[in-house]
């Protein structure tokens, strides 16, 4: 199976991932190679197999509903690229 | 051509937990921007979600209230998309295995009861807020709301007009507040609605193409937005056009819906099970425990109020609109020993009016059930008249004193002493010979004049029944 | 001093043969002398000296722990408050976490000294430590060879005695493979044994932190400090932590060792295979019984892994968007530009490759064929392990198909690089614990032997490794120039 440059660009956009134009073909080639590797999975019949999302057969633990986190805005925003009046700033969002 | 409207609603209810669904940050409304967004809510690297038990409990109790299947096994999934109010680049939600399965809710429109199917209800985290005030041409992001628990309740496309949609939404609004799982505050966004609207030629089985109207935040707007959208779709179809499946935003100022192209663009949410969270297992013991916490639901309560208290529809509707008011009524009825109608009249009348005027909820009423009962007891046993009672009510509202203290202090006890009443009546008959003459010559209306005179002379404290009786004898 | 084991260092500190300040200074000097290895991204000289002083005080007060005053280093994937945590990426080159990883807190509590943050493949994606934004790490046994990855800085530092021991993380072999290629001992614990809180996620259902040390006994000491239930990590398992040193000296007589035939087939370098056969003979002499087994689904581990890990990583790395922390591109024109350029400029090629792969595997129309299929195969692989471990005590095999390859050799062929993870990846899919221990040399380069155990059998694995290290001295070899 092989991916086209268009498909790579489409996935890259979904992932909001800028890739250089001159690299698109190489990515298409690498991803196609990976997909080839994956075709091996179809060698095995898995119709009656339950998918496994976690290594442990465990249930989610529940937390008591208690406020444990205090305001650390200053520390959190010290590492932010752009803030003002306690808000994170981004280019204008158009609804 | 005759058209039929098909409506399904997705309602997002913010669950009233103290802390967020996956973190220990507070959920209180109105805090300074980003002061209630902890490392987990901000999606900092390496931090992890842990599920809030209370959110699970609330979802389950809701499921029980709509007689839905509670999933013994439910799974959180990541819904992937980029948006600045979504810090992790994915929303933790539920897709294939929601916590609440198929249930239903009965609505009543124009006296007809209709059952609306609930497809599912699932837990998810709320996003933050984008503030569009101008920051040098930039948008500000406040993530305080990010991570607030939401229960998204998805209905079947069972509603056929805007009125039914509003009735369903109101019914759900009442229910979640009854259950104590959502404060229902629509201005603050605690209860939000997306409507899926389509039209089809009457008689056609297949659904038409639907448009989703996002974020409608009042009952009034739901009705207007749906009606507007229905008109738009019909006009479009009748002029030979086609409805496009899209997301539309209702603009309450212009009263129109418009396309949200920005949200439409190539949505592929790539749902998959969140590997940071394990399946939620709800066993029979947990369900049994929650069942014991299930309060009497609105429909059952209404029915009981009608039958047990013999109240009229309107009083029942008002009294059962909230659990707190219904509880208040029942407490007053029990403590005062008065008949239900008297209790209902005072609560739906004077008390509700005073609360409305002061903008207070029953839970914040200055007159608690104990003190109102004290007042009604004294009406019931004839100590005070209904008219005096209104005076006492005013004083109850303004002070902390009991009705008995106020009656004693102000000397408001009703006079039922026949001797005292006879003496006053005799004096009034003697003082007004002309009026007596008129009455006796058949002018019955004059009777009211004498009652008024007696009451005036006795400062309203005379027992009206006694006054009537004695006046008739003496005249 | 720097050649002593953790147990020996602890004794020396308690007996005041040397102080933590002296010991720390010794390691700091060595780090300085051997910068050519590029093992460290950040050296925390001042913090280390302050911690050493505090440790000496604690030792003087008689309140010292086993690790008090011992200089270790953290893989730069563990968040450290006040110290930059880069995860090997330009994205986080200036990122200072406002919190500590649970693992870091635990070492602080024990009074260990942190020398610095160790180099790694970018976001732990790589098998050679060449994807690091901060440059490739070199193998102390041959500076033209890779140290393995992604915990390449950790392996090189421990092997070259630039830290008494180190932490690593393992998603598909990232502790065991570099441990094997650098001749040290590495342990990937059972999934859920060590908290992932504050450990920057690559693939959440596979990631697991663990120790990288010079011996099994040292690994036991390190794991003792790292392991334990953490309420901040939903996937952390609430199972009691045993005393990992208690059973080190248990005899191996009667031990059943399973050798999957799939581990010794085509693709394994014959000299490496011969070295492993010798090592297994050693176990036979220790009284173990060798049993041939088969795990038919192992061959599907690589494809399943390269769907699951990229899928998880594609979502895990979405948070790096230039809004709240991390790299942000200059003068974004709009929101999409902010996202695509910040991410495009700050992620390296391997990270991008995996994000693209994962995004593709989860997208509409492909989910069932790739992601769901991979999850089903994951179940089959996990059942292979369960079945095998029901009949044997431990599974043994190679860690890598060959010894360390040359720097640059496989950088242009990602698929060849992925295939070199063939012996380690299945273990992460199943979630069982596994170790790599030094088992000999081929042409002067170390070879690792892999030990795989049942869930939460770390104490047993440590015992099996320790017994081997009592009768062999492969783990005591020091690379030339680092004595």
In B, minimum Cα distance to C236 occurs at B276
Choice among B241-245, B260-264, C78-82, C227-231 with the minimum mean pLDDT: B260-264
Chain A closest-CA separation from residue C266 CA (Å): 17
Tokens of C194: 């060590």
Residue B84 sits at the chain C interface (C-beta within 8 Å): yes
Flag if B51 and C234 touch (Cβ within 8 Å). Answer: yes
Contact present, C303 and C277 (Cβ < 8 Å): no
For residue C174, indicate whether it is catalytic: yes
Q: Which helix (H) or strand (E) holds C42?
A: strand C40-43
Residue B275 CA to residue B296 CA, distance in Å, equals 39
Chain C neighbours (≥3 Cβ pairs under 8 A) are A, B
In A, minimum Cα distance to B32 occurs at A86
Q: In 3-state terms, chain C is what percent helix, strand and coil (to 5)?
A: 45, 15, 40
**Domain coordinates of chain B in residue numbers?**
3-287, 296-400, 418-474
**DSSP per-residue codes, A57-82:** --PPPEE-S-------HHHHHHT-SS
Residue B275 sits at the chain A interface (C-beta within 8 Å): yes
**DSSP per-residue codes, B72-135:** SEE--EEEE---TT-TTSEEEE-SSS-SB-SEEEEEEETTEEEEEEEEEEEEEE---EEEEEEE
pLDDT at B261: 63
Residue C319 CA to residue B100 CA, distance in Å, equals 29
Burial of residue A1 (CB within 10 Å: 0-12, 13-18, 19+) is exposed
Burial of residue C103 (CB within 10 Å: 0-12, 13-18, 19+) is buried
Residue A59 sits at the chain C interface (C-beta within 8 Å): no
Flag if A51 and C192 touch (Cβ within 8 Å). Answer: no
pLDDT at B266: 56
Chain A closest-CA separation from residue C25 CA (Å): 31
Residues of the domain holding A20: 5-42
Interface residues of A toward B, Cβ cutoff 8 Å, are 10, 13-14, 16, 53-54, 56, 58-69, 71-73, 76-77, 82, 84-95
Considering only the beta carbons, identify the residue of C197, C233, C362 that sits closest to B270: C362
Residue C363 sits at the chain B interface (C-beta within 8 Å): yes
Tokens of C318: 């979405």
Tokens of C370: 């790739």
Mean pLDDT, residues C282-304 taken together? 97
pLDDT tens, position by position, C157-191: 999 999 999 999 999 999 999 999 999 999 999 99
Residue B360 sits at the chain A interface (C-beta within 8 Å): no
For residue C205, indicate whether it is catalytic: no
Q: In 3-state terms, chain B is what percent helix, strand and coil (to 5)?
A: 40, 20, 35
Mean pLDDT of chain C: 97
- Determine which one of C19, C89, C127, C174 is catalytic: C174
- Return the DSSP state at B415: B
- Determine which one of C4, C75, C106, C410 is catalytic: C75
Chain A neighbours (≥3 Cβ pairs under 8 A) are B, C
Helix (H, G, I), strand (E, B) or coil at B10: strand
Helix (H, G, I), strand (E, B) or coil at B197: strand
Q: Which residue has the higher pLDDT, B442 or C331?
A: C331
Considering only the beta carbons, identify the residue of C336, C380, C430 that sits closest to A55: C430
Residue B415 CA to residue B384 CA, distance in Å, equals 8
- Return the DSSP state at C371: I
In a domain, A53, yes or no: no
Flag if B272 and C367 touch (Cβ within 8 Å). Answer: yes
Which regions of A7-95 does DSSP assign to beta strands (E)? Answer: 62-63, 83-84, 87-91
How far is CA B119 from its chain centroid? 23
Asked whether residue C255 carries a pLDDT value surpassing 90, the answer given is yes
**DSSP per-residue codes, C239-293:** -PPP-TTTTTT---TT-EEEEEGGGSSTTS-HHHHHHHHHHHHHHHHTT-EEEEE
Question: Which distant-in-sequence residues (6+ apart) come within 8 Å of C172 by Cβ?
Answer: C203, C206, C305, C309, C421, C424, C425, C428
Residues in chain A: 95
Chain B closest-CA separation from residue C51 CA (Å): 24
Chain C CB contacts of B261 under 8 Å are none
Query: Chain B to chain C, count of Cβ pairs less than 8 Å apart?
Result: 99
Looking up tokens 């939903």 gives C234
Mean pLDDT of chain A: 94
Burial of residue B63 (CB within 10 Å: 0-12, 13-18, 19+) is buried
Considering only the beta carbons, identify the residue of B87, B141, B272 that sits closest to C319: B87
Considering only the beta carbons, identify the residue of B24, B56, B135 that sits closest to A67: B24
Query: Chain A to chain B, count of Cβ pairs less than 8 Å apart?
Result: 123
pLDDT tens, position by position, B151-209: 999 999 999 999 999 999 999 999 999 999 999 999 999 999 999 999 999 999 999 99
Considering only the beta carbons, identify the residue of B43, B276, B277 that sits closest to C319: B43
Q: CATH classification of B418-474, choosing from 3.20.20.70, 1.10.1060.10, 3.40.50.360, 1.10.10.410?
A: 1.10.10.410
- The dihedral built from the CA positions of residue C62, C67, C69 and C74, taken in this order, carries a sign that is negative
In B, minimum Cα distance to A91 occurs at B138
For residue C457, indicate whether it is catalytic: no
Low-confidence ranges of chain B (pLDDT < 70): 261-266, 415-417
- Return the DSSP state at B3: E
Q: Which of C475, C443, C450 is nearest to C464 (CA)?
A: C450
Tell me the backbone φ, ψ of residue B306, rounded to 5 degrees: -65, -50
Chain C closest-CA separation from residue A77 CA (Å): 7
Chain B neighbours (≥3 Cβ pairs under 8 A) are A, C
Residue B306 CA to residue C260 CA, distance in Å, equals 76
Cis omega before residue C150 (within 30°)?
A: yes
pLDDT at B232: 93
In B, minimum Cα distance to A88 occurs at B141
Looking up tokens 């790739």 gives C370
Is the ipTM of this structure higher than 0.95?
yes
Chain A CB contacts of B26 under 8 Å are 67, 69
Choice among B370-374, B382-386, C273-277, C435-439 with the minimum mean pLDDT: B382-386
Chain B CB contacts of C431 under 8 Å are none
Burial of residue C391 (CB within 10 Å: 0-12, 13-18, 19+) is exposed
When divided into structural domains, chain A yields a total of: 1
Chain A closest-CA separation from residue C79 CA (Å): 14
Mutate to test the interface with B, among A87, A90, A91, A92 (most CBs of B within 10 A): A87
Flag if A64 and B53 touch (Cβ within 8 Å). Answer: yes
Chain B CB contacts of C98 under 8 Å are 39, 44
Helix (H, G, I), strand (E, B) or coil at C212: strand
Tell me which residues of chain A, numbers 10 to 29, contact chain C at a CB-CB cutoff of 8 Å: 11-20, 23, 27
Flag if C379 and A51 touch (Cβ within 8 Å). Answer: yes
Flag if B37 and A58 touch (Cβ within 8 Å). Answer: no
Contact present, B129 and B145 (Cβ < 8 Å): yes
Q: Which residue has the higher pLDDT, C120 or B434?
A: C120
pLDDT at A95: 58
pLDDT tens, position by position, C358-409: 999 999 889 999 999 999 999 999 999 999 999 999 999 999 999 999 999 9
Considering only the beta carbons, identify the residue of C237, C300, C360 that sits closest to A11: C360
Flag if B38 and A95 touch (Cβ within 8 Å). Answer: no
Chain B closest-CA separation from residue A79 CA (Å): 11
CA triple B390-B396-B397, angle to 5 deg: 95
Considering only the beta carbons, identify the residue of B34, B138, B266 that sits closest to A73: B34
Mean pLDDT, residues C92-120 taken together? 98
Chain A closest-CA separation from residue C348 CA (Å): 10
pLDDT at C87: 98
Residue B173 CA to residue B193 CA, distance in Å, equals 11
HEC profile of B319-372: HCCCHHHHHHHHHHHHHHCCCHHHHHHHHHHHHHHHHHHHCCCHHHCCCCHHHH
Chain C closest-CA separation from residue B77 CA (Å): 11
In a domain, A62, yes or no: no
Chain B CB contacts of C367 under 8 Å are 270, 272
In a domain, A18, yes or no: yes
Helix (H, G, I), strand (E, B) or coil at C160: coil
pLDDT at B151: 98
**Domain coordinates of chain C in residue numbers?**
1-483
Choice among B2-6, B420-424, C46-50, C94-98 with the minimum mean pLDDT: B420-424
Q: Which fold has domain C1-483?
A: Amidase signature (AS) enzymes (3.90.1300)
- Determine which one of C150, C151, C215, C314 is catalytic: C150
Q: Which helix (H) or strand (E) holds A7?
A: helix A5-14
Chain A CB contacts of B37 under 8 Å are 73, 76
Chain B CB contacts of A73 under 8 Å are 32, 34-35, 37
Flag if A53 and B260 touch (Cβ within 8 Å). Answer: no
CA triple B167-B171-B177, angle to 5 deg: 145
Contact present, C83 and C47 (Cβ < 8 Å): yes
Q: Which residue has the higher pLDDT, C417 or B262?
A: C417
């Amino acid at each position: 199976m092989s991916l086209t440059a268009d498909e790579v660009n489409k996935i890259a956009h979904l992932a909001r991932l800028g890739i250089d134009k001159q690299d698109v073909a190489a990515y298409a080639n690498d991803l196609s190679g990976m997909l080839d590797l994956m075709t091996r999975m179809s060698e095995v019949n898995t119709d009656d197999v339950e998918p496994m999302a976690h290594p442990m057969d465990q249930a989610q633990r529940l937390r008591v509903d208690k406020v444990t986190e205090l305001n650390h805005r200053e520390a959190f925003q010290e590492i932010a690229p752009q803030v003002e009046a306690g808000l994170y700033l981004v280019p204008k969002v158009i609804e | 051509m005759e058209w039929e409207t098909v409506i399904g609603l997705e309602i997002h209810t913010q669950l009233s937990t103290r802390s967020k669904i996956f973190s220990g940050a507070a959920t209180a409304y109105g805090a300074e921007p980003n002061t209630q967004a902890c490392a987990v809510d901000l999606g900092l690297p390496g931090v992890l979600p842990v599920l809030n038990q209370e959110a699970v409990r609330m979802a389950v109790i809701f499921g029980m209230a709509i007689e839905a299947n509670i999933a013994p096994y439910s799974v959180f999934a990541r819904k992937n998309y980029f948006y600045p109010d979504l810090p992790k680049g994915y929303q933790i939600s539920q897709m294939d295995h929601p916590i609440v399965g198929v249930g239903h809710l009965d609505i009543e429109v124009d006296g007809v009861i209709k059952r609306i199917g609930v497809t599912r209800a699932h837990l998810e985290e709320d996003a933050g807020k984008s503030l569009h005030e101008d920051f040098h041409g930039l948008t500000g992001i406040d993530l305080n709301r990010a991570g607030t628990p939401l229960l998204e309740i998805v209905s079947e496309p069972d509603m056929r007009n805007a009125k039914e949609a509003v009735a369903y939404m109101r019914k759900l609004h009442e229910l979640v507040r009854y259950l104590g799982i959502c404060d229902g505050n629509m201005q603050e966004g605690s209860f939000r609605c997306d409507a899926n609207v389509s039209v089809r030629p009457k008689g056609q089985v297949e659904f038409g193409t639907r448009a989703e109207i996002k974020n409608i935040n009042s009952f009034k707007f739901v009705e207007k937005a749906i009606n507007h959208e229905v008109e738009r779709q019909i006009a479009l179809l009748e002029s030979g056009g086609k409805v496009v499946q899209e997301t539309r935003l209702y603009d309450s100022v212009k009263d129109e819906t418009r396309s949200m192209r920005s949200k439409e663009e190539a949505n592929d949410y790539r749902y998959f099970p969140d590997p940071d969270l394990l399946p939620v297992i709800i066993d029979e013991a947990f369900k049994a425990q929650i069942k014991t916490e299930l309060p009497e639901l609105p429909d059952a309560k209404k029915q009981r109020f009608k039958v047990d208290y013999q109240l009229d529809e309107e009083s029942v509707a008002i009294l059962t609109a909230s659990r707190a008011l219904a509880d208040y009524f029942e407490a007053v009825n029990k403590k005062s020993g008065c008949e239900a109608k008297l209790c209902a009249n005072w609560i739906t009348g004077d008390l509700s009016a005073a609360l409305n005027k002061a903008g207070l909820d029953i839970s914040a009423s200055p007159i608690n059930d104990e003190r109102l009962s004290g007042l009604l007891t004294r009406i019931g046993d004839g100590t005070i008249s209904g008219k005096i009672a209104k005076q006492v009510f005013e004083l109850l509202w303004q002070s902390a004193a009991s009705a008995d203290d106020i009656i004693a202090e102000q000397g408001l006890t009703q006079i039922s002493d026949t001797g005292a009443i006879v003496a006053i009546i005799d004096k009034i008959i003697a003082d007004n010979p002309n009026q007596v003459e008129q009455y006796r010559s058949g002018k019955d209306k004059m009777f009211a004049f004498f009652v008024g005179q007696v009451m005036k002379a006795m400062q309203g404290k005379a027992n009206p029944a006694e006054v009537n009786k004695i006046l008739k004898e003496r005249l | 001093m720097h050649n002593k084991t953790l147990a020996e260092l602890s004794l020396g500190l308690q007996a005041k043969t040397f102080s933590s300040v002296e010991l720390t200074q010794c390691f700091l000097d060595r780090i300085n002398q051997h910068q050519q290895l590029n093992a460290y991204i950040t050296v925390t000289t001042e913090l280390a000296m302050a911690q050493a002083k505090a440790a000496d005080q604690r030792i003087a007060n008689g309140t010292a722990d086993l690790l008090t005053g011992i200089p270790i280093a953290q893989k730069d994937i563990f968040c450290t408050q006040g110290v930059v945590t880069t995860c090997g990426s330009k994205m986080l080159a200036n990122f200072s976490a406002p919190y500590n990883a649970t693992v870091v807190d635990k070492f602080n509590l024990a009074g260990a000294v942190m020398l610095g943050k160790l180099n790694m493949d970018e976001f732990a994606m790589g098998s050679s430590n060449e994807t690091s934004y901060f440059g490739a790490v070199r193998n102390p046994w041959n500076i033209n060879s890779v140290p393995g990855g992604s915990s390449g800085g950790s392996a090189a530092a421990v092997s070259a005695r630039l830290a008494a021991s180190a932490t690593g993380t393992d998603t598909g072999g990232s502790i065991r493979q570099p441990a094997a290629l650098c001749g040290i001992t590495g342990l990937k614990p059972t999934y859920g044994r060590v908290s992932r809180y504050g450990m920057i996620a690559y693939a959440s259902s596979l990631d697991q932190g663990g120790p990288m040390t010079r011996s099994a006994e040292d690994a036991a000491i390190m794991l003792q400090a790292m392991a334990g239930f953490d309420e901040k990590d939903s996937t952390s398992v609430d199972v009691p932590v045993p005393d990992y040193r208690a059973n080190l000296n248990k005899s191996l007589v009667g031990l059943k060792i399973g050798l999957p035939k799939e581990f010794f087939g085509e693709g394994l370098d014959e000299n490496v295979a011969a070295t492993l056969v010798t090592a297994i003979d050693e176990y036979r002499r220790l009284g173990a019984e060798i049993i041939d087994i088969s795990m038919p689904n192992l061959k599907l581990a690589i494809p399943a892994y390269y769907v699951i890990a990229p899928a998880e990583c594609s979502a895990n790395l979405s948070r790096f968007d230039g809004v709240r922390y991390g790299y942000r591109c200059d003068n974004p024109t709009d929101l999409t530009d902010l996202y695509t350029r910040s991410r495009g400029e700050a992620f390296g090629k391997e990270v991008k490759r995996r994000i693209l792969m994962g995004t593709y595997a989860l997208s509409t129309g492909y989910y069932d064929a790739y992601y769901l299929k991979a999850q089903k195969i994951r179940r089959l692989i996990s059942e292979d392990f369960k079945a095998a471990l029901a009949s044997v005590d431990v599974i043994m095999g190679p860690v890598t198909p060959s010894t360390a390859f040359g720097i640059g050799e496989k950088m242009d062929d990602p698929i060849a690089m992925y295939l070199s993870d063939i012996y380690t990846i299945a273990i992460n899919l199943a979630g069982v614990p596994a170790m790599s221990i030094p088992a000999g040399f081929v042409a002067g380069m170390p070879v690792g032997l892999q030990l795989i155990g049942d869930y939460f059998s770390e104490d047993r694995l440590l015992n099996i490794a320790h017994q081997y290290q009592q009768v062999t001295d492969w783990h005591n070899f020091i690379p030339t120039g680092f004595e």
